Structure 1
Amino acid sequence: MAWLYLTFAGALEIVWAFSMKQSEGFTRPIASTTTLIAMIGSFGLLSLAMKSLPLGTAYAVWTGIGALGAFLIGILFLNEPANALRIAAALMIGGGLLLMKLATP
């Protein structure tokens, strides 16, 4: 169950990162509210996952999911560059997440 909590916490991290960008410095109320709600949900689910997962694993996976998701959202919806070095870096983060999962009992 902890991995499910962690996965949803990471997904909410992607939501709050994107909505924070859309809030334009917290000047747009709907995007700002979405950011805060997603942050609270993400932290809450992360804390549930940390009840049984090691701190380092939980935090690394949570931030990794958020980083990869924000990277993809940036490319797909915000017209950010998708050059070879950025893609290679994202693949390395994904590989690190997989290794963390495999290394955690």
Structure 2
Amino acid sequence: MHWILLILSGSLEAVWAHALSDILDPVNAITFLLGLAGSVWGLQRAMKKIPLGTAYAIWVGVGATVTAVWSAIEGEPFGPAKILCIGLILVGVIGLELSRSHAPHEDPASEA
């Protein structure tokens, strides 16, 4: 469940990033605020079970990938170099998951 939430909250980065491009429009301003709040909330919830470094890197990687693909769909130039780099981000995200320890994540604050 935490992984699904992390991927969804990373994807919300693309929503608020695109709304940011025209933030003076009231609809975009509201979309930005809701997307940002949902994205950060999802990251915070996922970090209860996924270590900070792994969760944050995956959140950013997913957000960057979805934003780049969305921009390409909207007509931004998207050549082979960008495709390769997005692929490398995805490989890094998968590598982070495969290389992490599967020991339960403990919150240092809960030990007090």
Paired letter, 2:14: I
Q: Equivalent residues in 2 for 1:20-59 (5 A)? A: 20-21=20-21, 24=22, 26-59=23-56
Q: If the length of structure 1 is used for normalisation, what is the TM-score?
A: 0.91
2:109 corresponding residue in structure 1: none
- How far the C-alpha of 1:5 sits from its partner, in A, is 1.4
Q: How many residues in Structure 1 have an aligned counterpart in Structure 2?
A: 101
Q: Which runs of 4 or more aligned residues in structure 1 lie more than 2 Å from their structure 2 counterparts after TM superposition?
A: none
Aligned to 2:3: 3
Aligned-residue RMSD, C-alpha: 1.0
Alignment of 1:82 onto 2:78: yes
Structure 1 residues without counterparts, runs of 5 or longer? none
* Shift in Å, 1:103: 1.7
The answer to which structure has the higher helix fraction is 1
Question: Which of structures 1 and 2 has the bigger CA Rg?
Answer: 2
In structure 2, distance between residues paired with 1:5 and 1:83:
30
Tell me if 1:67 matches 2:64.
yes
Normalising to structure 2: TM-score of the pair? 0.85
